[in-house]
Amino acid sequence: MTEQARSGFVTFVGRPNVGKSTLTNALVGEKIAIISDKPQTTRRAIRGIVNRPEGQLVIVDTPGIHKPRTLLGERLNDLVEQVLGDVDVIGFCVPATEKVGPGDRRIAASLDGYPRAKKIAIVTKTDAASRDEITERLMEVDSLREDWAAVIPLSALTRDQLEVLSDEVLALMPTGPALYPEGITTDETEEDRIAEIIREAALDGVRDELPHSIAVVVDDIAPREGSDLTDVHASIVVERDSQKAIIIGHKGSRLRDVGAKARGEIEGLLGTRVFLGLHVKVAKEWQRDPKQLGRLGF
Ligand code: GDP
Ligand code: K
Ligand code: MG
- Candidates 100, 88, 149, 89; CA nearest to 124 is 100
**Residue 150: its pLDDT value, please?**
98
Residue identifier of the C-alpha nearest atom 21 of ligand 1: 125
126 labeled binding residue: yes
- The DSSP output letter for 226 is T
- Supply φ then ψ for residue 279, to 5 degrees: -125, 135
CA of 282 relative to ligand 2 center, distance in Å: 24
Which residues are near ligand 1 (CB < 6 Å)? Answer: 16-22, 35-37, 42, 124-125, 127-128, 155-157
Spell out the per-residue pLDDT of the chain, length 298, in tens: 456 899 999 999 999 899 999 999 999 998 899 888 888 788 888 999 999 999 999 999 988 888 888 999 999 889 999 999 999 999 999 999 999 999 999 999 999 999 999 999 999 999 999 999 999 999 999 999 999 999 999 999 999 999 999 999 999 999 999 999 988 999 999 999 999 999 999 998 888 788 889 999 999 999 999 999 999 999 999 999 999 999 999 999 999 999 999 999 999 999 999 999 999 999 999 999 999 998 888 8
Q: Which pLDDT belongs to residue 1?
A: 43
> How many Å lie between the centroid of ligand 2 and the Cα of residue 218?
22
DSSP state, residue 44: S
Quote the ipTM score: 0.99
Report pLDDT for 297: 84
Q: What is the pLDDT of residue 2?
A: 54
The answer to the question of whether 62 is labelled as a binding residue is: yes
If phi over 0 gives left and psi between -120 and 50 gives alpha, with beta otherwise, what is residue 223? beta
Q: What is the DSSP letter of 295?
A: H
Is there a contact between 247 and 236 (Cβ–Cβ < 8 Å)? yes
pLDDT at 3: 67
The preferred substitution site among 13, 15, 32, 35 for testing ligand 1, maximizing ligand atoms within 8 Å of CB, is: 35
What distances in angstroms separate CA 42 from CA 88, 137, 187, 262, one per listed residue? 21, 25, 16, 17
How far away, in angstroms, is 133 Cα from ligand 1 center?
17
In the chain, the domains with their CATH numbers are: 6-172 (3.40.50.300), 190-295 (3.30.300.20)
**Could you give the dihedral angle defined by the CA atoms of residues 108, 111, 115 and 118, in that order, rounded to the nearest 10 degrees?**
-60
151 is in an annotated binding site: no
